[in-house]
């Protein structure tokens, strides 16, 4: 009898420096199983480390961004918001040693001056950033109290202040200059955005950084997003022809 040929393990052969995830569908995952939404969020958080480890350690992607709490999420019930904040604290507490061991720098992007954010959450965030600031292998960018429009507005306000004080002139402002005033100017633009749950929108996520990103919208809910789903997204990315407005590779 002929043996079935074993499929070769997937290898990413096209440069992919920065992948971003909108981890959508936690609540619907729970509803489908007749569980409270909180358990959906808990299941979603459990999946985070597994997916970013695959990106970093197996597929060689240096930067992962994860949209965990938006500026619009304050419209949710107070109990759900409080639970999400606790999950964030637990996630950092349980994984910080491994992040340090792997050389993963933690970055948190968003408006951390918002007085609605509990002080203990801010303390946890600052400690995670401080503890890993010397790490250089990978960057894990957590979008927390984040809005793409707010990020751009914040950059404009800072630049306007510089102009007003006479420290810069209008002629020096270009796209790269604006980028230097974003939350994480040292990170490269997003190459691939993945939003789970099948929703076909970017929901105010990394508006400036997504200018030339490829996008994938798998129908699976985030808690069920697996390595095979990730590979499907990476394969699709690898088959795209990124021309950046030109005629490259046509």
What's 107's domain CATH number? 3.40.1180.10
Q: Tell me whether residue 139 is in a domain.
A: yes
Q: So what's the pLDDT on residue 6?
A: 64
Annotated catalytic residue, options 17, 53, 73, 102: 73
Q: What is the CA radius of gyration of the chain?
A: 19
Q: Tell me whether residue 214 is in a domain.
A: yes
Q: So what's the pLDDT on residue 102?
A: 97
For 79, the enclosing helix (H) or strand (E) is: helix 78-102
Residue 24: active-site member: yes
Q: So what's the pLDDT on residue 249?
A: 56
Q: Tell me whether residue 32 is in a domain.
A: yes
Q: So what's the pLDDT on residue 113?
A: 96
Q: Tell me whether residue 98 is in a domain.
A: yes
Query: What's the CA gap between 223 and 29, in Å, rounded?
Result: 7
CA 184, 188, 190, 192 torsion-angle sign: negative
Q: Tell me whether residue 54 is in a domain.
A: yes
Q: Tell me whether residue 174 is in a domain.
A: no
Angle at 185 between CA 214 and CA 191, to 5 degrees: 10
- pLDDT tens-digit profile, the chain (250 residues): 555 566 788 999 999 999 999 999 999 999 999 999 999 999 999 999 999 999 999 999 999 999 999 999 999 999 999 999 999 999 999 999 999 999 999 999 999 999 999 999 999 999 999 999 999 999 999 999 999 999 999 999 999 999 999 999 898 999 999 999 999 999 999 999 999 999 999 999 999 999 999 999 999 999 999 999 999 999 999 998 877 666 665 5
Full domain range(s) for residue 225: 18-147+188-239
pTM above 0.75, yes or no: yes
Residue 120: active-site member: no
Query: What's the CA gap between 76 and 224, in Å, rounded?
Result: 23
Q: How far from 6 is each of 10, 12, 58, CA to CA, in Å? A: 12, 18, 19
Structure tokens at 44: 């979603």
Annotated catalytic residue, options 24, 26, 95, 191: 24
Query: What's the CA gap between 65 and 187, in Å, rounded?
Result: 10
Q: Tell me whether residue 78 is in a domain.
A: yes
Q: How many domains does the chain have?
A: 1
Q: Tell me whether residue 50 is in a domain.
A: yes
Q: So what's the pLDDT on residue 5?
A: 61
Which among 128, 100, 123, 104 has a CA at the least distance from the CA of 112?
123
């Amino acid at each position: 009898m002929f043996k079935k040929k074993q499929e070769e393990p997937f290898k990413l052969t096209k440069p992919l420096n920065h992948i971003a995830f909108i981890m959508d569908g936690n609540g619907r995952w729970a509803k489908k199983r007749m569980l409270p939404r909180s358990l959906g969020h808990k299941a979603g958080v459990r999946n985070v480390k597994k997916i970013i480890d695959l990106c970093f350690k197996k597929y060689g992607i240096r930067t992962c961004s994860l949209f965990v709490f938006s500026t619009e999420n304050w419209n949710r019930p107070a109990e759900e918001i409080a639970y999400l904040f606790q999950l964030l604290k637990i996630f950092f507490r349980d994984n910080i040693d491994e992040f340090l061991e792997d050389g993963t720098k933690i970055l948190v992007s968003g408006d951390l001056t918002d007085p609605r954010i509990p002080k203990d959450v801010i303390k946890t965030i600052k400690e995670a950033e401080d503890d890993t600031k010397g790490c250089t292998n990978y960057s894990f960018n957590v979008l927390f109290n984040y809005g793409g429009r707010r990020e751009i507005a914040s950059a404009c306000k800072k630049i306007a202040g510089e102009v007003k004080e006479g420290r810069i002139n209008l002629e020096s402002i270009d796209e790269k200059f604006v980028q230097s005033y974003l939350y994480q100017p040292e990170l490269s633009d997003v190459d691939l955005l993945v939003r789970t749950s099948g929703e076909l929108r970017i929901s105010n996520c990394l508006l400036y950084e997504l200018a030339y990103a490829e996008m994938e919208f798998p129908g699976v809910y985030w808690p069920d997003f697996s390595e095979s789903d990730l590979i499907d997204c990476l394969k699709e990315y690898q088959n795209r022809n990124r021309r950046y407005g030109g005629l490259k590779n046509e």
